[in-house]
Structure 1
Amino acid sequence: MKNMYDVQQLLKKYGIFVYLGDRMADLEMMQEEVRELYQSGLITPNEFQTSMLILRSELSKENNK
C-alpha cells in the first residue's frame, strides 16, 4: 500500500465505501473502519500500520491547508 487509493481499495475489498462529503470526516471514518477491520482480525498488523500512516499523512495535509 502506498497511497489513499490503496487504502480505499482495501476498504472496498470488505464492502466499505466511505463518502460523507467532507474530506476530513471521510479520513476520520476510514481510520475507524481500518481499526475495526484490524480488531476483527480481518487485516494484518502490517496492513493496519500502513493504512493508518497513509490516513494520518492525508489528515495532516488537510490540516495544513
Structure 2
Amino acid sequence: MKTLYDVQQLLKHFGIFVYVGKRLWDIELMAIELDNLYKADAIDKQVFLSAKLVLTREHRIEEQYEAAKDI
C-alpha cells in the first residue's frame, strides 16, 4: 500500500466511502475507520500498519500545504 488511493480502495472493499469535503478531514476519518477495521479483526496487522503510514504521511503533507497557503 503506497498511496491514499490504495487506502481508499481498501476501505471501499468494506463498504466505507469517505468524503467530508476537506482533504485533511477525509484523511482523519479514514484513519478512524481503519482503526475500527483493525479492532474488529477485519484486516491484519501488516495491512493496518502500511495503511496507517500512508495516512500519516498524507496528513503531514496536507498540514504543510495548509500552513503554506495561509502565509
Q: TM-score, normalised by structure 2?
A: 0.89
TM-superposed deviation, 1:29: 0.1
Matched, 1:26 2:26: yes
Per-residue CA deviations over 1:5-47 (Å, capped at 9, x if unaligned) read 1100000000000000011110000000000000000001001
TM-superposed deviation, 1:2: 1.2
**Structure 1 residue runs of 4+, over 2 Å off?**
none
**Identity level (%):** 45
1:37 paired residue number: 37
Structure 1 or 2, whichever has the larger Rg, is 2
Distance 2:19 2:40 in 1: 22
Q: What's the C-alpha RMSD, in Å, of the aligned pairs?
A: 0.5
1:49 paired residue number: 49
Give aligned pairs, total.
65
1:2 paired residue number: 2
Q: Which runs of 5 or more structure 2 residues have no equivalent in the other structure?
A: 66-71
Query: Which amino acid in 2 is paired with 1:11?
Result: L
2:69 paired residue number: none
Q: Which runs of 5 or more structure 1 residues have no equivalent in the other structure?
A: none
